[in-house]
Amino acid sequence: MRKKLRWMPLILLLAMLPICVAAQESAAANPDEVPAVQSKAAVVMDAATGRVLFAQQAHERLPVASTTKIMTALLTLEQDGLDTYFTVDSAAIQVEGSSMGLRAGDSVSLRALAAGMLLASGNDGANAAAVRIAGSQRAFAARMNQRAAELGMKDTHFVTPSGLHDPLHYSSAYDMALLAREALQNPAFAALCGQSKLVVQYGNPPYDRWLSNHNRLLREYQGAIGVKTGFTKAAGRCLVSCAQREGVRLIIVTLGCPDDWNTHRRLYDWYFARLQLQTPELPALALPVVGGQQRKVTLEAQALPQVALLAGETVTFNWELPQFVYAPVKQEQVLGWLALRVDGQSIEEVALTACEAVDAVEKQGFFSRLFRLA
């Protein structure tokens, strides 16, 4: 009986082998299809424009675990006096889960706390920053929700700075991509979340501490630059990542994905291989000018962006212009707006300005006009 039991793992492995081979053959047979994503929710977003390239249950409200700390760290790094040291609140740092190792009486700066959140995923660091900034965790959560509303995160409600599970604490894959896009535009945030390891100072008195980033992609995937991992039993594995190649920057979010590292790698490989940066060609535009020395003024778009496109995709334009303008018109005067769209999604809005100045026709009295006619 014991001999039979010893052979059971091998028998099960051999039985599953055809299934694995079939799955690989199926994937290889459809190289043009986006890789399958075994996740509760997922989004692939072009960071430059905010365009969603892939969506799976993108707006479903789900627990997001420690990816919450993207918001907490962003608000922390937007404060004044980032490098001013203070004593941590002893009650705030008494929290379960991952920690950056804060103890009662420790001196720390807000920048060091942000590093502890983004690299070591310190729940103690998130709580300490919240109390320092807003006076309490509840007051800080109100700030988090206010900022979320400003960013258009319509399926988000924060309760804790750390992301520890609470039934009323949730977000969505799309909202977390929006948040990551905003956070990466903060230089201090981008610098911290892209570090595999970092030395910061805190303690009583402060001394050097090595922090290691939980984000394996920073070490294992070429072009990875962030952002944040997360895990609780309720949320499962959550990962918000960002990578860039040849001018294209992508943000990927998976919530409740058991194979998140490999899923992000496959999605990055697929999209980086197919996206190309292109500069849209704007059609000729002009406006009639009333009372001007020229009958019309030509228009140009200011700072027309490059757009990452898949094969077969094109940029379309919608413009808002008046029927005419009155002279005088100044060169580079804003006369309208141009909206760029790809696949029905608005990706950019730029100003339409005058290419040249148009002077007004000089007004003349009756006798001046009579003399000129004569």
The residues annotated as belonging to the active site are 66, 69, 121
Residues 289 and 364: their CA atoms lie apart, in Å, by: 19
Q: What are phi and psi of 70, to 5 degrees?
A: -60, -45
What DSSP line would sit under 321-365, residue for residue?
--S-EESPB-TT-EEEEEEEEETTEEEEEEEEEESS-BPBPPP--
The token pair that represents 91 in the structure block: 């009650």
CB 358 within 8 A of CB 292: yes
Residues 39 and 42: their CA atoms lie apart, in Å, by: 7
Residues 4 and 196: their CA atoms lie apart, in Å, by: 47
The token pair that represents 96 in the structure block: 């379960």
E strand or H helix at 126: helix 123-134
Beta-strand pair 197-203/316-320: unpaired
CB 358 within 8 A of CB 289: yes
Burial (CB < 10 A; 0-12, 13-18, 19+), residue 220, is exposed
Which 3 state secondary structure label does DSSP give 40?
A: coil
Burial (CB < 10 A; 0-12, 13-18, 19+), residue 374, is exposed
Q: What are phi and psi of 218, to 5 degrees?
A: -60, -30
